[in-house]
Every structure is written in C-alpha cells, then in structure tokens.
Chain A
Amino acid sequence: MGNVPTTVKHCLSYEQLLENCPWLRRWLQEEKTIKAHEYPDFVKIVEVGPRDGLQNEKEIVPTGVKIQLIDMLSGTGLSVIEATSFVSSKWVPQMSDHTEVLRGIQRAPNVRYPVLTPNMQGFQDAVAAGATEVAVFGSASETFSRKNINCSVDESMLRFKEVITLAKGQHIPVRGYVSCALGCPHEGHIDPSKVAQVAKSLYEMGCYEISLGDTIGVGTPGSMCEMMQTVMKEVPVSALAVHCHDTYGQALPNILTALQMGVRVVDSAVAGLGGCPYAQGSTGNVSTEDVLYMLHGMGIETGVNLAKVVEAGDFICNFLCRKTNSKVAQASSKTL
C-alpha cells in the first residue's frame, strides 16, 4: 500500500465504502467476526487473601493483624471473605488461631465468611466457633491429593461426603474447591475429564459452588477453555468459579477466558497475597485489585470499592514488610 497515492487511499476508506453499500458488512459477516464477546453485568469476587493468601506467607501473622485485615475487607463491599482454615495446626501453623480469628472478626451484614474444613473434626470445631459457611478441597490430581492431604482422591471424597451431609443437616452451605485443575506440580498435565469428575462429585454431594483452581498457575487461555468446556458438561456454569494463580502472569487472561465462557464468580486475594510453594520466589494468587481494575474497566459491576481494597492491601503489606503483588496498588502508590 506504500506506493498508492493518498487520495486513492482516502477513496478506499472502509467507512466510505460502507456508506455507499450498507449491506456490505452483513454480507462479509464482519459483524459476526468482530463482534465483541458478551460479558456478565455482575461478577462476584470471593476474597481468599486472609486464608489462601496468608497460608502461603512464611511469616506467622498475629491474630490481631488477621482480624484487622478481615475487618478492613468487610468494609470494601466484598460479599464473601474466606476467613480461616480449621485444619490441624501441625500441618498449617499459620491457621492455628482459627477459632480466635472467627470469633474476633466483626461480621458485616451481607458478608459471608466461609472457612475451610477438611474433615469432620475441622467441621465440628468450625461450627463451635460460629462458622456459618464451610468449604472442602478436592484435587484433580491423585499425587497432589496424597502429598497434600495424605489420602487418595476417592478417600477424600468420602471424608467430604460426611462433612457435607452434616453441614446440610445444620443448613450450613458448603463450597467445593478442585485444585490442580490445569496442571499438577507432580503429575504435570491434568486431563480435563478428571477435573470434571471431581467437580461433578462435589456438586452432586451438595456443594453450592465449585471453584476450579489453577493451583500452580500454569494454565493459559487455551487450557482454561478446554477444561471449562469439559467441566461445563457436568456442572452448570452458574455454579462454577475460577481460582487462578498468577505464577506465569496468566491469571487475568485466564479469568477473561472464563468470563467469556459464562463464569460469574472469581476468586482473588488482596495484594496478591501468598506465594507459590512450588515455585520459590514466584507470585501465587491473582490480586483482587488487578481483577477489579479489569472488571470495572470492562463495565462489569462487582459492588467492591477498589480504593478500599488497596488500603487493606497496603495495611497487610506494611505489616509483612514487603511490596504488594498488585500492579494497580503499585501504580496507585506512585501517584500519591
């Protein structure tokens, strides 16, 4: 096109052509191919910073600081904040103050505070401490299940069935997680049908929502799409959430892909708390601030105040004496 005179190029303007032949766009089916993707009007954010985030931080955070973090998050508009985990303190010392945290937080109206309960003991302790919602963690990888919770996937499902049955009896909703949905640190590639199988089991047992976790952040829009397609054959998309890790910087494109496929629930952690235990020095959870920036920029409502989340992130990062993993928070601090 370099040698064509400017005047001719002006005549070749696409807009000019369309003005003369309005039927052209339809004929070329261009409206279909360059049509923007449909996105939801509203996306629910599930804040996992206080649990999944802090769980992966080396430094033990005092109970008071955890409570303050959750209280700050309660004022941001978030409707779900995963508060703590009722797991043995031998396994996860960071969560040993689970009862104190749950009892110490100021519960905001319209905010739910689910807690992790890997087994019956954990569930009973959680209920005694005042839990009104719980979560169970399954794995799509056999090896990861054995190494992480010391039992096979099938055995873990039996354990969860007990918890879910009891929870149902007490009208306590249960959220299900599937880890290693896009890859496992031990097994490598995970077959999407395995993810679908675990998701289906949890859903049929009674979990109201299944969060699909890219535990080591290796997923890309391609593998996310393939996995989602397979899972959506077994579980309705309205009951699905994505829990993306940002280890290889893929979290936002993966979340975008999930949204394009109909997902309406996204897990994230304030300040991108929590590294990746399988890739030393790398980031883990995607940061809530960056997710909010993307969603709000796309005109998608979340009900969450980004500035207040940045404040909560600043608070916890100041305590941990390290920089936030959120690009939005970093950019905001530079403009102050």
Chain B
Amino acid sequence: IILELKLYIYVVFTIMQYSTPVFHKAISDSTSVRAALPGKVKIVEVGPRDGLQNEKTIVPTEAKINLIDMLSETGLPVIEATSFVSPKWVPQVRGISRRPGVSYPVLTPQPEGIQAAVKAGASEVAIFGAASELFSKKNINCSVDESLQRFDEVMIAAKEAGVPVRGYVSCVVGCPYEGKVAPEKVAHVMAKRLYSMGCYEISLGDTIGVGTPGSMSEMLLAVSREVPVSALAVHCHDTYGQALANILVALQMGVSVVDSSVAGLGGYVIYMLHGLGIKTVRKTSSKVAQATCKL
C-alpha cells in the first residue's frame, strides 16, 4: 500500500511542481464565493501521527524520524509527531531534529502521558474527545463524561508543566456506530468544554469522512457560536472524496487552520489554497513530495 501511495503521490507532485507556476494567478476581485476567505491558513501536518497510525505496515522509528525531519524543512508550522499511548514511542520524539519556529505536538490521552512526553522533550500536547458516546466507549474505553474528567486531569498536568494543549473532537458530523451526530452535541458537549478547559485550539474531525458541505456548515455554525472561529480547525477525511469541498466551506465560514496529511490530501489542499490566493507555507510542495517518497 505504501509503495502504491508513494508512486501516486510522487506522480501528482511531480506534475504540480511543473505546472503550478504556470497556472497560479492571484485573483483581485472578491465575490460571495471569496468574500469571507482568510488571507492566511495554518496547515497542521498530521501525517506522522494520524496518517501512519492507520498504516498496516509498521514503519521503523528511523523512517518516521526521517519523515518528520524532512517535513520540518518544508516550512510547515506544526507537525504532529506521535502519540504517547505507550512508553515505547518515547524514542521517536527524542530522535527528531527540531526546527526553530516549528511546533511538534504529541497526543497524550492520559495525565501520565504528559510527564513522559515532557521528559522526552515535547513542548506541546493534544487530547482527543469524541462527540459520540458509542465511539468514545469503543475507541478509548470510557464514556464522554469520563473522558472529560480525564482531560481535566491532563489539563492540570499540562498547566503545571507549562505546555499548551490542542483539543480534538472526533465524529463531528457522523459516527460509525451512531450515524448522524447532532451539531449541538459537538458544540456543547465537546468543543465548548475543551475550549473552556484551556485548549488553545479545537480541531473538528470528520473521522469517517461522511461529511458534505451541508452537514459541515451546519456543524460549524453551531460550534462557532460557542468557540471563536479563530480557535477552530478542521480535520477532514476523504473517505467519500468530500474533504476538499468540506475544507472550502470551512474556509468560507472563517476557519483558518486545516489539518492535512502528507500521505493523504496535503498537496491538493495547498494547491487549492494557493489557487485562492491564500498564503500557507513558505516552500513549495516539492519538499513535501520528497518527504513522502522517502517513506
């Protein structure tokens, strides 16, 4: 699978490298389609964690470190490095070459994880909540309320350690067990709580990619009433090919932070943003391509 993906991404990026300068053109006039678009979008690279987590083949630590180091060269401001679900992932964070100005958040679902992460050198952590009760039970083995209590403890530990915390909400438009998820649930039960607990940013995840521009905007409308849109990010999965369209509506609603994966749609996201005249990273996606190929 990785080989196929590698070839596919390499082909796409080679083409993009060749043609992007020819076709990119700054648009000067604004219309209802472009009126509310942010001038700059922060890309949060989740490939090394969320991306690799779902790969069947276990990728060796050295390869992961290489990937993260290459991504650090691309100008991406945030690269999610790994997940402290088990102590055996500690070597990864120690091994990377940190680039100044780049943040390397790590997932820490438990308070104990914070100490281990900080010891290993993590300077930012992330916590994962679910908007769906069933998903919470099946994924992290506890109810939504119990998970929020755990997060309270994680937040205290993080504050003591002086590390910022990013909050993730999964199943924001649909759940593999419960089906459609009510926008109010996402807004009140999770997003608002995580934000008021002290998360500096809330990433709203369409975990199974079932969202469409309709359900996406409905959910964002409800959440943006509780959390300022400047603190929101979208984490769209492309299972049904809807990710870019969903990211576009999120941008039109004022969201300016997009999670994407180098091994997924990262290149296409950057292509769309640049085509809209939105600034993202400093360097071209050729570096991103090289990073993927080495994998």
Partner of A223, one of B27, B36, B198, B231: B27
Q: Is B19 an interface residue (CB 8 A)?
A: yes
Q: A188-B23, A222-B275, A252-B242 are in contact. Are A14 and B198 (CB under 8 A)?
A: no
Q: Is the CB of A253 within 8 A of B25?
A: no
Which residue from chain A places its CB closest to the CB of B220 in the assembled complex? A34
1/0 per position for A220-252, CB-CB distance to B under 8 A? 111101100100000000000000000111101
Q: Is B295 an interface residue (CB 8 A)?
A: no
Q: Is the CB of B217 within 8 A of A326?
A: no
Q: Is the CB of B11 within 8 A of A189?
A: no
Q: Is A6 an interface residue (CB 8 A)?
A: yes
Select the stretch in B51-59, B71-79, B221-229 that faces chain A.
B221-229
CB distance from A227 to the nearest CB of B (A): 10
CB distance from B234 to the nearest CB of A (A): 13
Q: Is the CB of B192 within 8 A of A13?
A: yes
Q: Is A33 an interface residue (CB 8 A)?
A: yes
Chain A hits for B252, CB < 8 A: 37
When chains A and B are docked, how far (Å) is the Cα of A10 from the Cα of B188? 11
Partner of A297, one of B8, B196, B214: B214
1/0 per position for B212-244, CB-CB distance to A under 8 A? 111101100100111000010000001111101
Chain A hits for B11, CB < 8 A: 280-282
When chains A and B are docked, how far (Å) is the Cα of A249 from the Cα of B274? 14
Q: Is A256 an interface residue (CB 8 A)?
A: yes
Which residue from chain B places its CB closest to the CB of A13 in the assembled complex? B226
Which residue from chain A places its CB closest to the CB of B275 in the assembled complex? A220
Q: Is the CB of A189 within 8 A of B213?
A: no
Select the stretch in B80-88, B103-111, B116-124, B265-273 that faces chain A.
B265-273
When chains A and B are docked, how far (Å) is the Cα of A226 from the Cα of B22? 17
1/0 per position for B16-56, CB-CB distance to A under 8 A? 10010011010101011110100000000000000000000
Q: Is B142 an interface residue (CB 8 A)?
A: no
Select the stretch in A64-72, A134-142, A286-294 that faces chain B.
A286-294
CB distance from B187 to the nearest CB of A (A): 9
When chains A and B are docked, how far (Å) is the Cα of A255 from the Cα of B241? 13
Q: A252-B241, A256-B249, A328-B241 are in contact. Are A2 and B271 (CB under 8 A)?
A: no
Chain B hits for A294, CB < 8 A: 212-213, 241-242, 245
When chains A and B are docked, how far (Å) is the Cα of A295 from the Cα of B6? 31
Q: A37-B252, A223-B27 are in contact. Are A6 and B268 (CB under 8 A)?
A: no
Chain A hits for B181, CB < 8 A: none
Q: A15-B225, A248-B271, A331-B239 are in contact. Are A37 and B27 (CB under 8 A)?
A: no
Which residue from chain A places its CB closest to the CB of B222 in the assembled complex? A15
Interface of B is mostly: helix
CB distance from A146 to the nearest CB of B (A): 19
Query: How big is chain B's contact interface, by range?
Result: 35 or more
Which residues of B (157-213) have their CB < 8 Å from a CB of A? 159, 164, 192, 195-198, 200, 209-213
Q: Is the CB of B275 within 8 A of A260?
A: no
Q: A223-B25, A223-B27 are in contact. Are A33 and B198 (CB under 8 A)?
A: no
Q: Is A149 an interface residue (CB 8 A)?
A: no
Q: Is A40 an interface residue (CB 8 A)?
A: no
Partner of B268, one of A229, A249, A298: A249
Which residue from chain B places its CB closest to the CB of A294 in the assembled complex? B212
Which residue from chain A places its CB closest to the CB of B196 in the assembled complex? A9
Chain A hits for B134, CB < 8 A: none
When chains A and B are docked, how far (Å) is the Cα of A18 from the Cα of B226? 11
When chains A and B are docked, how far (Å) is the Cα of A281 from the Cα of B27? 30
Which residue from chain A places its CB closest to the CB of B242 in the assembled complex? A294
Partner of A282, one of B15, B32, B159: B15
Q: Is A218 an interface residue (CB 8 A)?
A: yes
CB distance from B216 to the nearest CB of A (A): 9
When chains A and B are docked, how far (Å) is the Cα of A296 from the Cα of B211? 11
8 closest Cβ pairs, A-B complex: A220-B275, A297-B212, A327-B241, A249-B268, A298-B214, A290-B241, A9-B196, A252-B245
Residues of A near any B CB (own CB < 8 A): 1-2, 6, 9-10, 13-15, 18, 33-34, 36-37, 183, 188-189, 218-223, 225-226, 229, 247-250, 252-253, 255-257, 260-261, 279-282, 287, 290, 293-294, 296-299, 326-328, 331
Instruction: List 12 A–B pairs whose Cβ atoms lie within 8 Å, in order of A's numbering.
Output: A1-B198, A6-B196, A36-B217, A37-B32, A220-B275, A248-B271, A249-B244, A252-B242, A253-B247, A255-B245, A281-B8, A294-B242
